[in-house]
Amino acid sequence: MKHRFLIVGLLLLFGLSSVWAQTEPPVVDSMVVDSTELFPAAVSDVQVVDKPNDHGHAVIVTWETSADDGGGKNNVLRYEIFYSTSFDGPFDSVGAVPAGTGEFRHIGSKEPLDSAFVPDYTDLFYQIDAVTADPTIRTTSDVLGPVQCSGQWFNTGRIPVLVAVLIFGLLTAFFVLSAKRGKKLYVRPIGGIEAVDDAIGRATEMGRPILYVLGLGSAADVATIASFTILGRVAKRVAEYQTELIVPTYDPIVMSVAQEVVKSSYFDAGRPEDFKEDCVHFVTQSQFAYVAAVNGIMLRELPATCVYMGKFFAESLLLAETGSLAGSIQISGTDEIAQIPFFIVACDYTLIGEELYAASAYLGREPKLLGSLKAQDWAKAAFVALAIVGLLAANFEWFEFTTLFQVID
């Protein structure tokens, strides 16, 4: 009997729960409505354009931020940008920017095998997702495009550089022509370079070699090019005095150029038969292995004079200290600002920065080098004048002038 009541009770409970379950749908409906409200508004006014003033493979995407970014539901956390080469997709993510941002620069790779490759002259389509803290709750914009990207021949943002190049080029041409016509161009004496001849004489008297280090720069570095000119002058003197010259090099191309320079100096001095190709030799392209080798040469050959001209890095003090230990007269010159202090403390003479370039012109006395040096001096005078005018402009808020010198990449 009791069991019957229990069964009936369970059936009634089941029936009631079924009825209650039937009344659930309105509640479910309200849940659906709530979750829909969580989705942020999509971005609007999306525009895609080819990035100007570049080599191609890049697109700029701009948009009006979502109404729920900084207002409304205020639940947009970031925007994710997708792109495809087809209107129908599939779309790949190319990046994300935080909320409040209305621009994305899609800078792709130019290498076809690179995963980030963006083809030029191909239709590209974009989509932007406004994403909330829950990445599954996001709103996707309409597909935008097509847009095609391509490279430009001229970067209009660098017009100030073009103007500077033209003015400097004209100045150089003018002074080179003046020097060629025989006009005397004054260059003030430079302490360190005056000492080079004395140092070569000292090496000759002592019967010990001269070590010339061109540094770690490539053959295209300005400091290395200036150093080649000084090497030419040193090699000519060395050939005249019949002293030994040792030039250990770090870069194979620098070695080849240095061999040519030394060879032509021996020819100029009228002693081509004394030139030994091995005096300019390659060591290695590992920085500290090169230092170890040059230090070894210094302590074994005991050069009377060590000349360091070119581009130097962390090895500058190691070389100069060892040269000092070997009892050599040391003359250095570099445009690496961080290394100049080390040369100043450890060498007898140091050419600071641009003095190295000036030294090559001072020694060579060639019209091209002298003309270039004069043009540089005029450029410095122009720099001072522009700096003073610009300073006044900045203080009196004449921004039309100051913006003339802004370079935009």
What is the contact surface with other proteins in residues (CB under 8 A)?
112-113, 158, 160-161, 164-165, 168, 185-188, 190, 218-222, 225, 253, 256-257, 260, 282-286, 288-290, 292-293, 295-296, 299-300, 337-338, 340-342, 344-345, 352-355, 358, 362, 373-374, 377, 379-381, 383-384, 386-388, 390-391, 393-395, 402, 405-407
Residue 135, preceding bond cis, omega within 30 degrees?
A: no
**341, 155 contact by CB (below 8 A):** no
Task: Give me the DSSP letters along 372-388.
Answer: HHHHHHHHHHHHHHHHH
100 beta partners? none
Quickly list DSSP for 333-370: EES-TTTHHHHHHH-SEEEETHHHHHHHHHHH--HHHH
CA distances to 127, 357, 369 from 179, rounded to whole Å, are 63, 18, 9
Q: What does the block give as tokens for 356? A: 């190295």
Tell the smallest beta-carbon distance from residue 171 to other proteins (Å): 12
Residue 76 token pair: 């947009």
Our CB check for other proteins shows the closer of 64 and 111 to be: 111
Closest contact distance (angstroms) between CB of 293 and other proteins is 5
Comparing CB distances to other proteins, the nearer of 64 and 260 is 260
Exposed e or buried b per residue across 370-383, where buried means at least 16 C-beta atoms within 10 angstroms of its C-beta: bbbbbbbebeeeee
| Closer to other proteins by Cβ: residue 40 or 248 | 248
Of 70 and 252, which CB lies nearer to other proteins in the complex structure? 252
Min. distance of Cβ 80 from other proteins in angstroms? Answer: 31
Cα separation, 173 vs 196, whole angstroms:
30
Closer residue to other proteins in complex, CB, 88/397: 397
Least Å from the CB of residue 380 to other proteins: 5
Closer to other proteins by Cβ: residue 29 or 183: 183
What is the nearest approach in angstroms of other proteins to the Cβ of residue 397? 9
What angle, rounded to 10 degrees, do the helices at 222-241 and 191-206 form? 40
> Taking the complex as a whole, how short is the minimal distance between the CB of residue 337 and other proteins, in angstroms?
7
Alpha-carbon separation of residue 43 from 26, 40, 129, 136, 138 (angstroms): 32, 9, 8, 17, 11
> Could you tell me the smallest distance in angstroms from the CB atom of residue 323 to other proteins?
14
